[in-house]
Amino acid sequence: MNDNLREILLGGQSFSWREENDGSYSAVLNNRVYRIRNLEDAAKDPFLYDYFDFAYDYDAAARAIAEKDEILNEAVRSTGTIRLLKQDHWTATISFILSQNNNIKRITGLYDRLSRRYGHEVEDGRYTFPTPDEMKDVTEEELRALGTGFRAPFILDAIEKASLLDELDTLSFDDAMTKLQTIKGIGPKVASCILIFSYQRREGFPLDVWMKKVMKEYYPGKDPSYFHPYEALSQQYLFSWIRNK
């Protein structure tokens, strides 16, 4: 099965990656710039090997998902093999707080503005995403001036409670969901995205406006347990499928 790198990197699970003019992709991660053309490039680097979750057999999962029903079969065929990235906890948390009632293009723009304003430069024009410590003196006015809008107080609350993110790995999925939602601006959808795309919790099933349409139209009366044990991956295939259809 073909890996669809564009969908993996730019399709809404990460806002760190940029497509270059030569067709390669780049991101500032781990305090440096990474550039790749394909997944084989990523497999050669120890950090990216872990980030792209090479320990998991995504081809086998895609085959199993495609056999589940006709809709999933079409979603997998039309999308190519998808991966779930293992992103930094803090970066994912702020990214998905920014994502609420927003679109991918604007989320990416806000991500860049936060990086440029509060992160540090590692190459010409390339900035790290700021750490909680780098953002500790941020004010609501500054955040609003950057365009975060009503999400500004949510970001401030996340900065205060950032240490909580280190405690989630030891918790059950339900307890981690509950704990994440003690941060303002994090509800069930944002919490499940954070747990999937940063904590490798494959039982998450984010219901955004696109997925609510999919469930209503193609899976009436069913709930996420129907997709077990591939809730998160199935959701991601369906999300990509409906959005690109």
**Separation between Cα atoms, residue 51 and residue 85, nearest integer Å:** 6
188 near DNA, judged by CB under 7 A: yes
228: three-class secondary structure by DSSP: coil
Considering only 77, 117, 126, 144, the residue that binds DNA (CB under 7 A) is 144
First to last CA, the chain: 20
Chain-centroid distance of CA 74 in Å reads 23
Among 86, 184, 218, 226, binds DNA (CB under 7 A): 184
Q: In this structure, what token pair is assigned to residue 178?
A: 């509950």
Site for DNA in 24-83 (CB under 7 A): none
Instruction: Decide: is 149 part of the binding site for DNA (CB under 7 A).
Output: yes
Q: Is 101 in the site for DNA (CB under 7 A)?
A: yes
Please report how close the Cβ of residue 32 comes to DNA at its closest, in angstroms: 25
Contact 63, 235 (CB under 8 A): no
Out of 4, 30, 73, 100, the only residue in the binding site for DNA (CB under 7 A) is: 100
Query: Per rule CB under 7 A, is residue 13 in the interface with DNA?
Result: yes
Q: Which two tokens stand for residue 49?
A: 């090997």
By CB atoms closer than 10 A (0-12, 13-18, 19+), residue 93 is buried
* DSSP string across 88-155: -HHHHHHHHHHTTT--HHHHHHHHHHHHHHHS-EEETTEEPPPPTTTTTT--HHHHHHTT-GGGHHHH
243 makes contact with DNA (CB under 7 A) = yes
Residue 190 binding DNA, by CB under 7 A: yes
The answer to the question of residue 12 lying near DNA (CB under 7 A) is: yes
Q: How far is the CB of 2 from DNA (least distance, A)?
A: 19
Q: Which of 79, 93, 234, 235 binds DNA (CB under 7 A)?
A: 235
Reduced to 3 states, what is the DSSP secondary structure of residue 14?
Answer: coil
Stretch that binds DNA, among 32-40, 63-71, 177-185, 223-231 (CB under 7 A): 177-185
Token pair of 95 as six digits: 């990214």
Smallest distance, Å, CB 232 to DNA?
9
Which residue ranges make up the site for DNA (CB under 7 A)?
11-13, 99-107, 144, 147, 149-150, 181, 184-191, 193, 206, 208-211, 235-236, 239, 243
